[in-house]
Structure 1
Amino acid sequence: MKTILLASAAAATLFAAPAFAQDAVGSVGVAYNHAKTEAGAADNDMNGAKIDGVVATPAFGDWTVTFNAAGTYTDSDFGGDETGLSGAVHLTKAVEDMRFGGFVSGEELPLGYTLTTFGAEGQKYFDRATLTGVASYGTAADADLWTVGGEAAFYATPALRLAARASYSDLDVDGASTDGWSAGVNAEYAFAATPYSVYAGYDRSELEDFDVTVDAFEVGVRYNFGGGLQARDRAGANLGRNVNSVLTSLFRGNVQ
């Protein structure tokens, strides 16, 4: 049932997004990613592809609803071929030069598990920068994942967005607890007089007590609608991309 719901959310966002172009702000993108996982003496290389989409639209008054979804394909040395879906719904309110709200998301993990996450998020807008903060709780089977994180984005020009992000997580599995963290950078460049942009990113994630580290790289292209790169930020159309999940890096090798 959860898989059906995730698939429905992903399809609605990815394929209906361009139809909202006149009334909303968002993007649809495709990307290639590569990740290397080191777990003690064992290494695992992952290569994959991702298609994602996001739509932010006014709901009522100063409130905004944002839908984002992604479909992923991963080929790893250990796990072979894997596909996954993820989706989220955000409800936020714009207050002067800030935005506050919450979200609920679902993400397929290997072995048939689904990570369900609830969280609070906020953004502060400046002339050439955006600050984002997120706090969340996620659960999958017998695992509990608490995460806090943030991103700082700077617009070197209206067409060039540079960002750095970091998050800290506490993962409890069957009574055993471990700390995890993720940090990364990315850049996105929008081509003049076109709705297209290209981006690249790098994340490093670690689960300390399990001696697991993941280095992930991603490059992609996006079709944007409703405004430029900074308009996406201010409309709430980058929510869901700003802070990476340690488990997403571990199992999918994805960069956000």
Structure 2
Amino acid sequence: MDKLEMGVRRFGHVNWLGLKTLAMREILRFTSVWTQTLLAPLVTAGLFLLIFSIAIGPSRGEVMGVPFINFLAPGLMMMTVIQNAFANTSSSIVISKVQGNIVDTLMPPLSPIEMVLGYLAGGVARGVVVATAILLALALFLQIVPVHIFWTFTFVVFGGAFMGAIGIVAGIFANKFDQMAAITNFIVTPLAFLSGTFYSVDALPPALRSLTHFNPVFYLIDGARYGVIGTSDSAPLLGLAVVSGTTLVLVFIAWMMIKTGYRLKN
């Protein structure tokens, strides 16, 4: 067998069947427990909206030219999307490592990038399903319909990919559930809550406003807001560029971690 033949896998440059199988496994992980992974986030987002509408909604006035609840809704939707995308990829890897069956994913003839894409498919799919459910509920109960449906789902997909990639990196790094909880509490939650979900960054002091623009989640929240209500703090193209660039960096890090077997093969 010559060198060229040795460099080509028998099923081609891309193992489409293996990639599809891994992606379907990750999707079935959350659809099989839909009350926990799909219904619970919908209820949580609804409770947030209810509490804010009762507590400060009537007295808050308009924000960016729309009622406060309309301003808040897309931010809550995106926050729910990224939290679920992160949970899907990170929990899948950590549970496999703790239970000792991560080898079942490492042994099949999947390249590192195929493994990354397979895990990401589950995170993005969960984010899209959650976003769709929330948007349907917003349209049904609050008559909030996305102004730019294309931009809305573009940022939902990129939000799922961005936080799904963080989940892969975090899942590989963490060897125990308490390490995973620390990453969630001290990295993921602050990124989500300090991103303009509950306020416009124009209301912040100049120093905090500038700092917020270094948070990629801000652009996800802002992009979703533009898609749903048609207004935002920054240009959607800028947000898309920042998020896509950051996601590529995270995917590269995840690829390197899987390629080297970091915390996976020992």
Report the TM-score when normalising by structure 2: 0.24
Highest RCO, 1 vs 2 (Cα 8 Å, sep ≥ 6)? 2
Larger Rg over CA atoms? 2
Report the TM-score when normalising by structure 1: 0.25
* Structure ranking higher in helix proportion: 2
